[in-house]
Structure 1
Amino acid sequence: MKILTYNAISLFSGAMGLDLGIEKAGFDIKVCVEMDKLAAKTIQENSNIPVINKDINKVSTEEILQTAGLSREEVFLVVGGPPCQAFSTAGNRKGLEDFRGNVISNYLRVIKEIQPQFFIMENVRGILSTEMKYVPDEFEEYKDIVNLKGSVVYFLTKEFEKYGYSISFTLFNSANYGVPQKRERVIIFGHKGERIPLPSPTHSSTGDETGNKWVSFSEAIQGLDPDKHDYIELSERMKHYLAFLSGGQYWKHLPEDIVQEAMGKSYFLGGGKTGFYRRLSYDKPSPTLVTSPSMPATMLAHPEELRPLSVQEYARIQQFPDHWKFQGSIMNIYKQIGNAVPVGLGYMAGKTIMDFYKGDYDKTREKTNKIPYSRYKNCSDFEFLPIFEKEIEKNKLSIETNEQIELDLIL
Structure 2
Amino acid sequence: MNRPDIALIGDIRDYSASEIREKAGLSSTDEIDVIVGGPPCQAFSSAGKRQGFNDERGNVFLTFIDLIIELKPRFAVIENVRGLLSAPLKHRPHEMRGKNFPPLSQDEQRGGALLFIAQRLREAGYSISFNLYNAANFGAPQQRERVVIACSRDGEKLPYLTPTHSEKGLYGLPTWKSLREALQGLPEDGHHFVKFPEKRLKYYKLLKPGQYWRDLPEELHQEALGASYHAGGGKTGFYRRLAWDKPAPTLVTHPAMPATDLAHPEEDRPLSIEEYKRIQEFPDDWIIAGTLLDQYRQVGNAVPCSLGRAIARMLLSHLKGEQPLNYPDFPYSRYHKTDDVNWMKEMGCFEESSVKQLSLNLV
Is the contact made by 1:99 and 1:105 (CA closer than 8 Å) also made in structure 2? Answer: no
| Counterparts in 2 of 1:208 and 1:380: CA distance versus 1, 3 Å | closer
SS at match of 2:348: helix
Is the contact made by 2:33 and 2:73 (CA closer than 8 Å) also made in structure 1? Answer: yes
Is the contact made by 1:209 and 1:370 (CA closer than 8 Å) also made in structure 2? Answer: no
Identify the residue that residue 58 of structure 1 maps to in structure 2: 14
Of 291, 301, 304 in structure 2, the residue corresponding to residue 339 of structure 1 is 301
The within-5 A match list for 1:94-105 is 102-105=59-62
TM-score of the aligned structures, taking structure 1 as reference length: 0.76
Identify the residue that residue 111 of structure 2 maps to in structure 1: 150
Identify the residue that residue 133 of structure 1 maps to in structure 2: 90
Identify the residue that residue 248 of structure 1 maps to in structure 2: 210
State the shift of 1:386 in Å. Answer: 1.8
CA distance in 1: counterparts of 2:182 and 2:121, whole angstroms: 37
Instruction: Say if 2:345 is the partner of 1:386.
Output: yes
SS at match of 1:218: helix
Instruction: Say if 2:76 is the partner of 1:115.
Output: no
CA distance in 2: counterparts of 1:119 and 1:304, whole angstroms: 42
Identify the residue that residue 83 of structure 1 maps to in structure 2: 40
CA distance in 2: counterparts of 1:80 and 1:356, whole angstroms: 20
State the shift of 1:312 in Å. Answer: 0.4
CA distance in 2: counterparts of 1:76 and 1:144, whole angstroms: 38
Of 126, 129, 140 in structure 2, the residue corresponding to residue 168 of structure 1 is 129
Identify the residue that residue 355 of structure 2 maps to in structure 1: none
CA distance in 2: counterparts of 1:64 and 1:315, whole angstroms: 29
Deviations 1:212-264 (CA, angstroms, capped at 9, x unpaired): 11000000011111012110111222111101110100000001222222222
Is the contact made by 2:263 and 2:271 (CA closer than 8 Å) also made in structure 1? Answer: yes
Instruction: Say if 2:169 is the partner of 1:207.
Output: yes
Is the contact made by 1:132 and 1:147 (CA closer than 8 Å) also made in structure 2? Answer: yes
CA distance in 2: counterparts of 1:336 and 1:90, whole angstroms: 23
| Counterparts in 2 of 1:384 and 1:208: CA distance versus 1, 3 Å | closer
CA distance in 1: counterparts of 2:273 and 2:138, whole angstroms: 23
Is the contact made by 1:112 and 1:163 (CA closer than 8 Å) also made in structure 2? Answer: yes
| Counterparts in 2 of 1:273 and 1:279: CA distance versus 1, 3 Å | same
Identify the residue that residue 74 of structure 1 maps to in structure 2: 31
Of 166, 179, 190 in structure 1, the residue corresponding to residue 140 of structure 2 is 179
State the shift of 1:360 in Å. Answer: 2.5
Moved over 3 A (4+): 44-47, 84-91, 98-101
State, as a whole percentage, how many aligned pairs show the same letter: 45
Is the contact made by 1:46 and 1:325 (CA closer than 8 Å) also made in structure 2? Answer: no
Question: What is the one-letter code of the residue matched to 2:208?
Answer: S
CA distance in 2: counterparts of 1:160 and 1:325, whole angstroms: 36
Is the contact made by 1:80 and 1:122 (CA closer than 8 Å) also made in structure 2? Answer: yes
CA distance in 2: counterparts of 1:196 and 1:281, whole angstroms: 36
Identify the residue that residue 360 of structure 1 maps to in structure 2: 322
Is the contact made by 2:35 and 2:73 (CA closer than 8 Å) also made in structure 1? Answer: yes
Larger relative CO (CA 8 A, sep 6+): 1 or 2? Answer: 1
Structure 1 unaligned spans of 5+: 1-43, 92-97, 135-142, 392-411
CA distance in 1: counterparts of 2:24 and 2:226, whole angstroms: 54
Is the contact made by 1:73 and 1:116 (CA closer than 8 Å) also made in structure 2? Answer: no
| Counterparts in 2 of 1:99 and 1:294: CA distance versus 1, 3 Å | closer
Of 179, 184, 189 in structure 2, the residue corresponding to residue 222 of structure 1 is 184
| Counterparts in 2 of 1:156 and 1:51: CA distance versus 1, 3 Å | same
CA distance in 1: counterparts of 2:349 and 2:231, whole angstroms: 36
SS at match of 1:188: strand
* Aligned CA-pair RMSD: 2.3
Identify the residue that residue 310 of structure 2 maps to in structure 1: 348
CA distance in 1: counterparts of 2:275 and 2:140, whole angstroms: 13
SS at match of 1:265: helix
Higher helix share: 1
